[in-house]
Amino acid sequence: MPLPLPAVLVVSLLGLPDAATCLVQSYPEVLCGFEAPNSLVLCNGDRIPWDDGRSKTIDERFYEPDPEDMFVWPYPSASEWPPFPTTDPGRIRFERLFEAAYGDAPAKVTEHLVTVRWFGRNVRVSRRNGVARHLQAVATDLDRLPRRFRRYFTHTSGTYNWRTIKGSAVRSLHSYGIAIDVGIEFSNYWRWVPGATRDAAPPPYENRFPREVVEVFERHGFIWGGRWAHFDTMHFEYRPELLCARSPPR
């Protein structure tokens, strides 16, 4: 018999936007529900406004987001291939959520890092919210693909690395041990395009990664940087809330 849900969580599943429900379901170690009219409830008792009520530019959403802003661009369905993205679904991150989920300083993040075996080497990722377990499942399923796909994922350029995103003050999700870069020699990154700058329109889309590899990661809760207009095709990060929001949450 399933365990009874906390009362606040029962409230959170009634009448909430699908995106907020997905967020609560995806981070059960951190979010214990929703309190009307506008508060996500952290399991430590803190409240976070779901919507801060501000009308924002894209830059303001990127640098000063609320949780709702993370869903401003829906993550594309698996059937949308080849991807020719015009938005950046997943690149807006509400930092306070990830600090609560994984740690707000290197010492706190590293307390939760564990080793996952990745095609002959060890990588370190967070065990919180099942990240390590899901990444191990990714490796298992990738290993079942035909050998022609192996060149895209057997080499990794890294997982945990406390740092900001290049060209910004926003913390990379590598900082929390929930992202992995693979197949750099077959990757495309928007900043590598001559003349590309953050203030200009994104450069023409480029990608060499096969759909079969991307689908394995997405099946286990990792979104792909190749679905961004500011593409980063080597990059995968654990964001189950965005994949949940592709369709109504269960």
Whether the per-residue pLDDT at 161 is higher than 70: the answer is yes
Instruction: Give residue 2's identity as a one-letter amino acid code.
Output: P
d(CA 157, CA 232): 13
CA dihedral 106, 111, 116, 118 (to 10 degrees): 10
Which pLDDT score, from 0 to 100, does residue 9 have? Answer: 44
H helix or E strand, kind and range, residue 182 = strand 179-182
According to the model, what pLDDT value does residue 198 have? Answer: 80
* Band of residue 34 on the pLDDT scale cut at 50, 70, 90: confident
Directed axis angle between helix 211-219 and helix 131-142, to 10°? Answer: 150
Q: Where are the domains of the chain?
A: 7-244
Q: What is the pLDDT of residue 169?
A: 84
What was the pLDDT predicted at 16? 63
Residue 14 has pLDDT above 70, yes or no: no
pLDDT band at 247 (very low <50, low <70, confident <90, very high): low
> What band does 15 get if pLDDT is binned at 50, 70 and 90?
low
Question: Quick check: 102 pLDDT over 80?
Answer: yes
